[in-house]
Structures are given as C-alpha cells and as structure tokens.
Amino acid sequence: MTSVGDGRKRVRSGQTKAWHQSLKSLTFSLSHVGRCRLLGWGPRLS
C-alpha cells in the first residue's frame, strides 16, 4: 500500500516539474515576442 502512495507522489512531482518547465518556456517565448513587438513598434510610434 505504501509503495503505491510513493509511486503516486513521484508521478505528481514529475508532472508539476514538467508543468513548471512548460510554463517557464511559455513565459520566456511570450516575453521574447513582446520584446520583438516593442522593438518593431518603437520606430513607428516615435
């Protein structure tokens, strides 16, 4: 019984790790796109 609980915990921790990794890459790509957009709009606005 305890081994099953441990397995569940391990899977859950692995999922959260993968979720955090995807979230980090998503925020990074979003910030990168935002920066590119700001650079592109800069000359036009000024």
DSSP state of 30: H
Q: Which residue segment(s) compose the domain that 11 sits in?
A: 1-46
At residue 39, the pLDDT reads 73
At residue 20, the pLDDT reads 92
The span from the first CA to the last CA of the chain, in angstroms, equals: 67
31 pLDDT more than 80: yes
The predicted-structure confidence for 4-30, as pLDDT tens digits, reads as follows 666 667 777 888 899 899 999 988 888
Distance CA(24)–CA(46), nearest Å, equals 32
Name the pTM for this structure: 0.46
At residue 21, the pLDDT reads 92
